[in-house]
Structure 1
């Protein structure tokens, strides 16, 4: 298993160095130059650790972290030139796992990354996505509702994974097919409706009156209901 790391840094000279060191360690690496790009990448792919700069154009690292923590417990190490204790405490309150103060030693940061990956994934390469009373486990592909495990087929898991990753976004049938099943999908677009119906039976308290997985008529589906 190759760990995937997302670097969110607007200074190219820093992101280039980090990318080089991370790849040298044998990890997969993706780079986002600003917060919006980071959230787009995070929505499309699975990452095991995120290096997140605080001061960026558009939206800052704090806002990015808030969005990530709505659905994921993935480890996040903040990169910052700020040394004020108040700034560090703010990040920890939002859900940061650690801080690295710029300028930093790339070798030291790699050691810190190794420690995090070993500690977090020592038993299983598992990331947990959560929403309300639901938890989705990425390695064991299990769904927990109110502390009870709900059986999923492989097809249901793939679709539910995409919905968790894109919480709050309206996705068309075509987008769901592409993201969940790729170009090898040979079924009809309308088959997604059947998958949605089965998933609702498993996640909704009242499947006939769904509050979590909502139909946006003429557009598609949105996971997260009114809170999305």
Structure 2
């Protein structure tokens, strides 16, 4: 039985989610505001978090940042707004998916099941190793000379994309489209910022990421 944390301040919404989640055999705990949600998350073990963006005390985005500081648990964002900015921000901060109010409870259940199915799919042994760096695609872990380093979801996806194209130049536009999962019309410097952060975390291996000026990046020892 998967355990779900729902951080939602609307009582009516909590009641609806409780009915459908329990009907689908989920073990559910509810928090009525952000602070309570953070405390509950820190003191319990969950399989997925449903997180409302608009809360009375702390924004859902800040809670998501706090969660991502220590955990890769799947997070499904609940928002009353559907603007492109919210989607970009949510995915950039590490959200796995989102639903926009008003939504069908059945849609929420379907999205939760899909997210948990992806999270639990660890049958393959998909590992990329090069120059003392090991990327485990399934567990989303990266080690440098045997020592695990902590990457954000987007940093991991970006490094994995470059590794899968070893020796080939990947344009910044392609990085945005593939890593962010949709056509991105924002600032290309988003990629540059993530590359800078990646290099810092790779430490002595930072030079493995090569800049091809005016074009993009590639991984290689040359």
- What TM-score do you get using the length of structure 2 for normalisation? 0.55
Q: Match of 1:74?
A: 73
Alignment of 1:73-222 (within 5 A): 73-123=72-122, 148=146
Deviation (angstroms), 1:146: 5.3
Cα separation, partners in 2 of 1:149 and 1:86, compared to 1, 3 Å: closer
Q: Match of 1:56?
A: 55
* Alpha-carbon distance in structure 2 between the residues aligned to 1:147 and 1:86: 38
Cα separation, partners in 2 of 1:112 and 1:146, compared to 1, 3 Å: same
Contiguous gaps of at least 5 residues in structure 1: 125-143, 151-228
Cα separation, partners in 2 of 1:67 and 1:17, compared to 1, 3 Å: same
Report runs of 4+ in structure 1 exceeding 3 Å deviation.
144-150
Q: Match of 2:4?
A: 5
- Structure 2 residue matching 1:26: 3-state secondary structure: coil
* Alpha-carbon distance in structure 2 between the residues aligned to 1:15 and 1:146: 43
Deviation (angstroms), 1:91: 1.1
Q: What's the Cα RMSD here?
A: 2.3
* Alpha-carbon distance in structure 2 between the residues aligned to 1:95 and 1:44: 21
Alignment of 1:16-31 (within 5 A): 16-31=15-30
Q: Match of 1:42?
A: 41
Preserved CA contact (<8 Å) 2:49 2:75:
yes
Cα separation, partners in 2 of 1:147 and 1:30, compared to 1, 3 Å: farther
Deviation (angstroms), 1:122: 2.9
Pairs aligned (count): 132
Contiguous gaps of at least 5 residues in structure 2: 124-141, 149-222
* Alpha-carbon distance in structure 2 between the residues aligned to 1:147 and 1:118: 31
Deviation (angstroms), 1:62: 0.3
* Alpha-carbon distance in structure 1 between the residues aligned to 2:49 and 2:104: 17
* Alpha-carbon distance in structure 2 between the residues aligned to 1:43 and 1:50: 12
Deviation (angstroms), 1:47: 0.8
- What TM-score do you get using the length of structure 1 for normalisation? 0.54
Cα separation, partners in 2 of 1:77 and 1:147, compared to 1, 3 Å: farther
- Structure 2 residue matching 1:93: 3-state secondary structure: helix
* Alpha-carbon distance in structure 2 between the residues aligned to 1:69 and 1:56: 18
- Structure 1 residue matching 2:51: 3-state secondary structure: strand
Deviation (angstroms), 1:115: 1.0
- Structure 1 residue matching 2:89: 3-state secondary structure: helix
